């Protein structure tokens, strides 16, 4: 029995329909289908999901997937549902734009070179015309026809909304969200500001569509959409709440104009009231869901902290003495206190710079509690692997530890959660300063009460990008035990990477004023400075170093160039183009061109080192899918998660399908679809922010006043400590000294510290 069906249906009965989100449940009558239809326990065909506004006596084309509800029996979940197609044969621009949804630029150029109107040839199923296109046989022509008619619903969006000049990328996002041309058309025509809730559609585009459609500049809809977008963006920057007057009102006036009347603002805030949280004096405002998330984190942490400690650690001092003898050195008094606290407490956070022994004390704890099962995890694969080197056991990314994305939809794809806990007694989470609040909640939700949670981090780095400020807030809370390690191990003192980075952490200069020249530091000779006065040297020196170092490393994955910025001469865009020609120059093989913005594109080749810059929770593990039709991918593929910052090597390119295969470290071979290509970037050079949470054997750092506004001690500290074996800085002397003297000012505003206190000391 096929679980996917395509049918022409009519609405027999509406069980439920919500006009605000277009979700409906209907009983349907079949008009036409070639598929076998399964009925529910009452003998009805039930359809549920996103669907257009429902009307009687209207025929709908339905593509749906069969699911079985434990209570109601068989139902069909909407993939797409739409009314009869309306094609405007005169809209040549819209037709070509629609073809970009389905075909590569190269294929489209070939079509238009051979045919007067490829769109109509496809629409009229004229395979005999399509074979006139260079390189297209009958088999390919039929595949094109099949692809076109499966996606024809999208063309209605281009036709009926042509005055809005929607791009193919925009329509793809809309269709992914709404699943129906009818719903897209209705929302864009009635109130384009509702599109602000769709991930990937920004305020500028949403506002442009709405104003073009006739919405007023002082309408409450405009104010509502702007407030939502502002709160979304601030939350992504780590601000759980914002100040109502100093931040939100200032932003409204700045963006919407000083002359905006009070009435639309008041009406907008009234409409949003059910989604908003205010503090007692109404000086702070936030989305309720963000405040509730931090409240749930607080409740979970205190639950774990107060659970009965059933661990037996009698005689632990003698065991630690044995460990010290075996390793040939003694723990510092700070590490000793860390071991004691980790045994006594259920929740514990330890911070410190490199060489202070954060991971070393963990070895001692695990020796004492050797009968207990433990798991170690981190956000990035490299960090998880690094911890594994210390404990001798496998490390996990947090997502992999939690079984993501193999869990059910109800739990967001996570396989472990409250009630289905992780099968471990001790959870060790490294690089806790990199974990955002959403993922942290998923982690602690999956830890059974009575277990231990040991967190390790380095607050000297740049703040994490994303929601919350977990490490900072746990340290600030007086109710969560924490220790900051400051003493360097004697063994670590030989490394200038460690000693100089800790000086930088304290704003201590590491290079003399006006120094120009080359300097190698440390007993291990593991940190080099090449200093100069002219910022133009950064780009050329990095190119010279890269060309030299690629011949010294075993793998290009062991060498990472790190700079603060993306644009300008010493930014990653220009550096990656140069490094690509040095490491993987173009040969007779074709390359795929990816356009990331109107002003920036890159050529990707087999063998290139690349980074994934988005979170894709259902990526396809590559298993010879190119031997099958694209529509079969979902059925034949195993899925996994690929996350922002994952690095790998391009192993294959399929030019006809506009797809590539990337072998990502700690993940495996992933099939990158055409629509995902804009999330794959060259990564011979990456920004300091993107390097957080990872470590590489060899690191080249470029620094000059071209990134003046970003220069802080935290940025330099983060860059240097990414190197595990050797680091070289190509730096403008005054820029380095300026950065070491600057402290980053935290811009995050979170509620977690207050939430923890309210759980510990509730007010009745």
Residue 83: its pLDDT value, please? 66
Report CA Rg, the chain: 29
Residue 407: its pLDDT value, please? 83
Residue 459: its pLDDT value, please? 85
Q: Is 77 exposed, middle or buried (0-12, 13-18, 19+ CB in 10 A)?
A: middle
Low-confidence ranges of the chain (pLDDT < 70): 1, 19-21, 83-89, 101, 150, 168, 385-391, 490-491, 631, 764
Residue 354: its pLDDT value, please? 82
User: CATH number of the domain at 4-83, please?
Assistant: 2.40.50
Whether the ω angle into residue 30 lies within 30 degrees of 0, i.e. cis, is no
Residue 172: its pLDDT value, please? 76
Do 493-623+636-741 and 294-487 have the same topology in CATH? yes
- Is residue 359 within 8 A of residue 489, CB to CB? The reply is no
Question: Phi/psi of residue 395, each to 5°?
Answer: -105, 155
Q: Indicate the domain borders of the chain.
A: 4-83, 92-164, 217-282, 294-487, 493-623+636-741
- Is residue 6 within 8 A of residue 151, CB to CB? The reply is no
- Statement: 493-623+636-741 belongs to CATH 3.40.50.300: yes
Pairwise CA distance, residues 722 & 337, whole Å? 27
Pairwise CA distance, residues 320 & 342, whole Å? 13
Concatenated DSSP letters of 59-80 = -EEEEEEEEEETTTEEEEEEEE
H/E stretch holding 502: helix 496-505
Give tens-digit pLDDT for 201-227.
Answer: 888 888 988 898 889 999 999 999 999
Residue 692: its pLDDT value, please? 87
Q: What class does CATH assign to 294-487?
A: alpha beta
Residue 387: its pLDDT value, please? 67
Residue 532: its pLDDT value, please? 97
- Is residue 91 within 8 A of residue 106, CB to CB? The reply is no
């Amino acid at each position: 029995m096929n679980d996917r069906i395509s049918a022409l249906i009519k609405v027999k009965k509406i069980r439920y329909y919500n006009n605000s989100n277009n979700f409906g449940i209907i009983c349907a009558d079949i008009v036409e289908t070639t598929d076998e239809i399964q009925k529910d326990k009452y003998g009805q065909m039930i359809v549920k999901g996103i669907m257009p506004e429902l009307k009687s006596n209207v025929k709908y084309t339905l593509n749906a997937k069969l699911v079985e509800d434990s209570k109601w029996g068989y139902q069909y979940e909407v993939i797409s549902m739409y009314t009869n197609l309306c094609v405007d044969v005169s809209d040549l621009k819209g037709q070509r734009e629609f073809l970009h949804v389905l075909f590569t630029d190269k294929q489209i150029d070939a079509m238009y070179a051979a045919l007067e109107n490829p769109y109509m040839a496809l629409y009229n199923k004229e395979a005999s015309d399509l074979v006139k296109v260079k390189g297209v046989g009958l088999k390919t022509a039929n595949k094109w026809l099949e692809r076109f008619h499966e996606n024809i619903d999208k063309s209605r969006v281009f036709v009926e909304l042509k005055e809005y000049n929607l791009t193919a990328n925009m329509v793809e996002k809309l269709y992914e969200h709404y699943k129906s041309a009818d719903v897209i058309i209705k929302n864009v025509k009635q109130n384009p500001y509702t599109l602000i809730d769709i991930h990937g559609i920004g305020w500028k585009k949403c506002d442009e569509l709405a104003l073009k459609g006739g919405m007023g500049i002082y309408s409450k809809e405009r104010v509502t959409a702007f407030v939502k977008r502002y709160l979304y963006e601030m939350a992504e920057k780590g601000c759980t709440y914002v100040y109502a007057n100093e931040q939100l009102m200032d932003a409204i006036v700045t963006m919407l104009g000083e002359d905006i009347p009070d009435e639309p603002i008041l009406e907008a805030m009234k409409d949003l009231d059910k989604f908003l949280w205010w503090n007692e004096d109404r000086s702070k405002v936030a989305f309720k869901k963000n405040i509730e998330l931090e409240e749930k984190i607080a409740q979970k942490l205190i639950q774990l902290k107060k659970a009965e400690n059933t661990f037996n650690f009698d005689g632990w001092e003698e065991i630690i003495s044995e460990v010290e003898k075996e390793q040939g050195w003694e723990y510092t008094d700070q590490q000793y206190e860390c071991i004691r606290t980790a045994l006594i407490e259920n929740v514990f956070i330890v911070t410190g710079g490199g060489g202070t022994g954060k991971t070393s004390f963990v070895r001692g704890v695990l020796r004492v509690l050797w009968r207990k099962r433990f798991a170690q995890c981190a956000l990035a694969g490299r960090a998880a692997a690094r911890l594994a080197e210390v404990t001798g056991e496998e490390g996990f990314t947090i997502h992999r530890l939690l079984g993501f994305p193999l869990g059910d939809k109800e739990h967001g794809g996570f396989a472990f959660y409250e009630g289905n806990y992780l099968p471990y007694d001790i959870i060790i989470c490294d690089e806790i300063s990199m974990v955002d609040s959403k993922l942290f909640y998923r982690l602690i939700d999956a830890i059974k009460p009575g277990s231990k949670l040991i967190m390790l981090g380095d607050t000297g780095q740049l703040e994490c990008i994303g929601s919350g400020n977990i490490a900072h807030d746990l340290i600030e809370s007086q109710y969560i035990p924490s220790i900051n390690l400051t003493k360097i191990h004697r063994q670590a003192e030989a490394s200038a990477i460690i000693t100089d980075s800790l000086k930088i952490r304290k704003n201590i200069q590491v290079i003399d004023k006006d120094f120009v020249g080359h300097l190698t530091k440390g007993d291990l000779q593991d940190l080099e400075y090449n200093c100069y006065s002219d910022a133009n040297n950064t780009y050329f020196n990095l190119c010279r170093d890269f060309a030299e170092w690629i011949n010294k490393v075993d793998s290009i994955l062991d060498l990472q160039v790190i700079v603060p910025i993306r644009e300008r001469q010493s930014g990653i865009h220009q550096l990656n183009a140069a490094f690509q020609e040095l490491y993987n120059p173009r040969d007779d093989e074709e390359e795929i061109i990816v356009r990331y913005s109107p002003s920036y594109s890159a050529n990707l080749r087999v063998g290139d080192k690349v980074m994934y810059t988005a979170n894709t929770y259902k990526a396809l593990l590559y298993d010879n899918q190119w031997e099958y039709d694209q529509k079969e991918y979902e059925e034949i593929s195993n899925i996994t998660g690929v996350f922002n910052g994952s690095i790998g090597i391009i192993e294959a390119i399929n030019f006809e399908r506009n797809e590539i295969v990337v072998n990502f470290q700690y993940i495996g071979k992933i099939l990158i679809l055409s629509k995902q290509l804009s999330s794959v970037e060259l990564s011979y050079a990456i920004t300091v922010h993107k390097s957080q949470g990872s470590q590489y054997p060899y690191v080249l750092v470029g620094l000059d006043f071209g990134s003046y506004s970003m220069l802080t001690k935290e940025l330099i500290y983060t860059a240097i400590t990414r190197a595990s074996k050797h680091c070289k800085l190509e730096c403008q002397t005054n820029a380095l000294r300026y950065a070491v003297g600057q402290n980053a000012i935290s811009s995050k505003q979170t509620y977690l510290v207050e939430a923890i206190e309210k759980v510990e000391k509730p007010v009745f």
